[in-house]
Amino acid sequence: MFADRAKIVIRSGKGGDGHVSFRREKFVAAGGPDGGDGGKGGDVIFEVDDGMNTLINYRHRRKFSATDGEQGGKKRCHGKDGQDLVLKVPAGTVVRLAETDEVIADMSGDNRRQIVLKGGRGGNGNMHYATSTMQAPEYAQPGQEARELEVKLELKTIADVGLIGYPNVGKSTLLSHISNARPKIANYHFTTLQPELGVVDLGDGKGFVAADIPGLIEGASEGAGLGHEFLRHIDRCKVLIHVVDAASTEGRDPVEDVYQIDKELAAYDFALGEKPQVIAANKTDSVIRPEDGKNPDGTDWVDPVQRLKDEFGPKGIEVFPVSAVTGTGLKDLLFYVAGMLEKVPKGTTVYQQEYFPEEHLQDNNLSYQCWVDPKDPHLFHVEGPKVDKMLGYTNLDSEKGFRFFQNFLKDTGILKELEKLGIADGDTVKLYELSFEYYK
């Protein structure tokens, strides 16, 4: 099966921890702090690869990780930065947050390379924390944590024109005659199992890219058949060529086919049903007019092409009788479609970013909670991811670390929250296993 969707987990690299060490050299009685900084974690980057046309590389592997930054070292040695992870994808790939379906990146148009997850910041070594009053700090900053997201990759074919219609109406044959594409062609339903792209050359530097969208059937928008797997590939097409079997070689009514497929497009996405379209009445070389001008049931025979024109002409949809086998009528069809393309906006449709990982994964978005102990009105609890993270990288035994802790309580609004709860001098504040008395 054509791989145009995948769900993966991406992880950026953790920042390396800062180092705690002191200069130790001969004839130097009291060397200062010389702990180096940790290296930055690797980024996760998506990049367009023009040699790819499927997402098969992501169907059999689930997790992709950049490397972590190295820890800082002695003698002010900086830890090595983590290696970025570059994920190659075909043009037209949309990266979405798996949980909400929000767009993170659309690798289309001019967007050829995008950092989706930034690596963690490296921690400062203890050489940064020396002051006139604290000349031997035993504290270093830990590296920023790695970041992880589950994302969905969705390939939406980039083509100017989409060939749509029921299976076996001749879309693949038509594409092979009008472009440089060479799709596999056979007289079986669903022989086309992936969108085929072809460049249509009209001379004088004019032309467009056409895509054969695999056959749709009734109920495709609800998951019937294979056609629903490829409805998304119509999104970026500017014009649709609706190919129908004018000869009804399989007993279907071409007029009803147009209505049914348009219904499926609108059911999948209303905007698809509003796209400009033209009808290619294919297989006209196989249309047989009865000698007596009568149908088997005795009714008057009507030219199927004329029926299509009578039905859809008043709706502003042009109908072109063509034969993909003999090439009859194809030139008129293609030049008309080229004229339609000149009237629609230029450029590739690009989906705007809806989810910004940096805004949701920053440390300042971590929460906390404050509450009064139900058994002791003089005991106040403070917990939450923000507090837990702070305690994990703060050395409260050092003067510098304890001053940082006090500023943290003030800057985050925790002290103000405690005051709202009625805390008074001498009351106890408990942060997990850490307890201290409150004095204003």
Q: What is the pLDDT of residue 28?
A: 58
Token reading at 200: 């249509």
Beta carbons of 159 and 184 less than 8 angstroms apart:
no
CATH 3.60.15.10 holds for 1-155: no
Q: What is the pLDDT of residue 188?
A: 45
Q: What is the mean pLDDT of each run of 10 residues along the chain (440 residues)?
A: 79 91 70 87 94 84 94 90 95 91 90 92 81 68 86 86 86 83 49 68 81 65 52 83 88 89 84 88 84 73 88 93 90 92 81 82 61 88 76 68 80 88 90 81
d(CA 151, CA 8): 6
**CATH level 3 topology of 365-437:** GMP Synthetase; Chain A, domain 3 (3.30.300)
If you count DSSP H runs as helices and E runs as strands, how many of each does the chain have, helices first? 9, 18
d(CA 48, CA 106): 10
The answer to whether the 161-342 and 365-437 domains have the same CATH topology is: no
| CATH architecture label of 161-342 | 3-Layer(aba) Sandwich (3.40)
In the chain, where the domains are located: 1-155, 161-342, 365-437
> What's the Cα-to-Cα distance from 82 to each of 36, 38, 145, 266, 438, rounded to whole Å?
16, 10, 13, 47, 42
Q: In what order do the strands lie in the sheet with 319-321?
A: 196-203, 206-212, 161-164, 239-245, 277-282, 319-321
pTM: 0.66
Largest alpha-carbon pair distance within the chain? 118
Token reading at 38: 């940790």
The amino acid present at 250, given as its one-letter code, is E
Beta carbons of 247 and 284 less than 8 angstroms apart:
yes
